[in-house]
């Protein structure tokens, strides 16, 4: 029997009879991502610089705060995914390892795209003041996210994998980033401004749907293998609901405390509702794996279908909001 687990390698998955299983879910995500490469350096931000210059102070501050939160978030997830790559490699899950190498490369590109945007609009001073007022943001990105991912370095148990995935894929990507795209769409699409940023968000959103689908897949396979893992999913989500809602509402509180106006018709309750809805539906997708056959989970495309469905619904909702 061949093994490619770390420390036990006596063969190679790619040399085995039948080759790699192209139908496995992570291999399909890998192939899809390879077909959709994009280069942040190809995006033209010259109109964005003119649009920023034409904004009111409140609009500009809100736009920079949103972009700074995104950029620091992308940098964090670039770094913090690495223990998950190592855990999959050590277990000999080659398809997951291959997909995660693409995943981490995409997060690095996302960081680069936001940095190029800030450079193009002339914001090269220190930007920490756009995130540090938000204590919940700092809690998630400097404590919760790295702690739950780096726990895998010491103990890559299913429980720790589920906690890491819920934090990374379902809270940071599935709730915070998705709510952020919704806000970008309100800013950009409703006014027809920031065409470079619109392209960035479109490409990133496309990558992120695959990332979140991988997270749902990972939680599903652990829940199918051990039903107690569903409680771990639920427990981690409960732990992070308050800080993640705080990330969303923190920017509104700051504007109010400073006596400013919330621009672009962005509504706090609408955003909070949007975030909670996404969380609930993703939890439902994981729940449906309880008692399921692991062999079926491995080739089941439903996590991807779920993200595509969200995307279609969001596009519809935003088109209606823009009228
Ligand atoms: Fe990203
Ligand atoms: Fe991501």
pLDDT in tens, the chain (323 residues): 899 999 999 999 999 999 999 999 999 999 999 999 999 999 999 999 999 999 999 999 999 999 999 999 999 999 999 999 999 999 999 999 999 999 999 999 999 999 999 999 999 999 999 999 999 999 999 999 999 999 999 999 999 999 999 999 999 999 999 999 999 988 997 789 999 999 999 999 999 999 999 999 999 999 999 999 999 999 999 999 999 999 999 999 999 999 999 999 899 999 989 888 888 888 888 998 999 999 889 898 888 888 888 888 888 877 776 55
Distance CA 26, CA 32 (A): 10
State residue 280's pLDDT score: 86
State residue 321's pLDDT score: 63
CA of 38 to the centre of ligand 1 (A): 13
Ligand with the closest atom to the CA of 73: 1
State residue 278's pLDDT score: 83
CB 110 within 8 A of CB 181: no
Ligand with the closest atom to the CA of 102: 2
Task: Output the CA–CA distances (angstroms, integers) from residue 169 to 49, 53, 165, 213, in the order listed.
Answer: 32, 35, 5, 8
Distance CA 71, CA 200 (A): 12
Longest Cα–Cα distance in the chain: 68
Q: Which alpha helices (DSSP H) does 226-267 contain, by range?
A: 228-257
State residue 154's pLDDT score: 95
CA of 76 to the centre of ligand 1 (A): 9
State residue 316's pLDDT score: 82
Closest CA to 198 of 67, 54, 60, 55: 67
State residue 80's pLDDT score: 98
Closest CA to 298 of 21, 105, 55, 9: 21
State residue 234's pLDDT score: 95
CA of 208 to the centre of ligand 2 (A): 5
Distance CA 275, CA 179 (A): 6
CB 26 within 8 A of CB 96: yes
State residue 252's pLDDT score: 94
CA of 116 to the centre of ligand 1 (A): 15
Distance CA 220, CA 298 (A): 9
State residue 9's pLDDT score: 96
CA of 18 to the centre of ligand 1 (A): 34
Q: Which regions of 89-206 does DSSP assign to beta strands (E)?
A: none
CB 107 within 8 A of CB 77: yes
Instruction: State whether the Cα torsion 108-55-188-132 is positive or negative.
Output: positive
0.85 exceeded by pTM = yes
CB 306 within 8 A of CB 285: yes
Distance CA 123, CA 116 (A): 10
Residue 301: burial class (beta carbons within 10 Å; 0-12, 13-18, 19+): middle
CB 100 within 8 A of CB 85: yes
Ligand with the closest atom to the CA of 169: 2
State residue 83's pLDDT score: 98
User: Is 22-322 in CATH node 1.10.620.20?
Assistant: yes
Q: Which residues have C-beta within 8 Å of that of residue 276, sequence separation ≥ 6?
A: 245
Ligand with the closest atom to the CA of 172: 2
CA of 114 to the centre of ligand 1 (A): 10
Ion ligand 2 neighbours (CB, 5 A) are 173, 208, 211
């Amino acid at each position: 029997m061949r093994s490619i687990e770390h420390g036990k390698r006596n063969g190679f998955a790619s040399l085995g009879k039948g080759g790699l299983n192209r139908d496995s879910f992570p291999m399909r995500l890998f192939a899809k991502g390879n077909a959709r490469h994009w280069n942040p350096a190809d995006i033209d931000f010259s109109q964005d610089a003119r649009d920023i210059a034409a904004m009111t102070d409140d609009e500009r501050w809100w736009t920079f705060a949103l972009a700074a939160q995104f950029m620091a978030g992308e940098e964090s997830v670039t770094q913090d995914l690495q223990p998950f790559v190592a855990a999959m490699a050590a277990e000999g899950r080659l398809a997951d390892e291959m997909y995660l190498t693409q995943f981490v490369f995409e997060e690095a590109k996302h960081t680069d795209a936001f940095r190029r945007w800030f450079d193009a609009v002339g914001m090269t001073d220190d930007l920490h003041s756009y995130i540090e007022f938000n204590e919940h943001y700092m809690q998630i990105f400097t404590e919760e996210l790295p702690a739950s991912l780096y726990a895998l370095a010491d103990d890559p148990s299913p429980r720790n994998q589920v906690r890491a995935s819920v934090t990374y894929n379902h809270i940071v990507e599935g709730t915070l980033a998705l709510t952020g795209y919704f806000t970008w769409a309100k800013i950009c699409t409703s006014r027809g401004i920031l065409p470079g940023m619109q392209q960035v968000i479109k490409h990133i959103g496309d990558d992120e749907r695959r990332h979140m689908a991988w997270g749902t897949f990972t939680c599903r396979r652990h829940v199918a293998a051990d039903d107690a893992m569903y409680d771990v999913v639920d427990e981690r989500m409960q732990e992070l609901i308050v800080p993640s809602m705080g990330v969303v509402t923190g920017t509104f509180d700051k504007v109010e405390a400073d006596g400013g106006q919330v621009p672009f018709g962005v509504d706090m309750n609408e955003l909070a509702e949007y975030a909670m809805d996404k969380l609930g539906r993703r939890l439902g997708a994981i729940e449906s794996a309880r008692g399921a056959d692991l062999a079926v989970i491995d080739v089941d495309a439903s996590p991807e279908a779920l993200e595509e469905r969200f995307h279609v619904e969001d596009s519809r909702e935003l088109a209606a909001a823009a009228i």
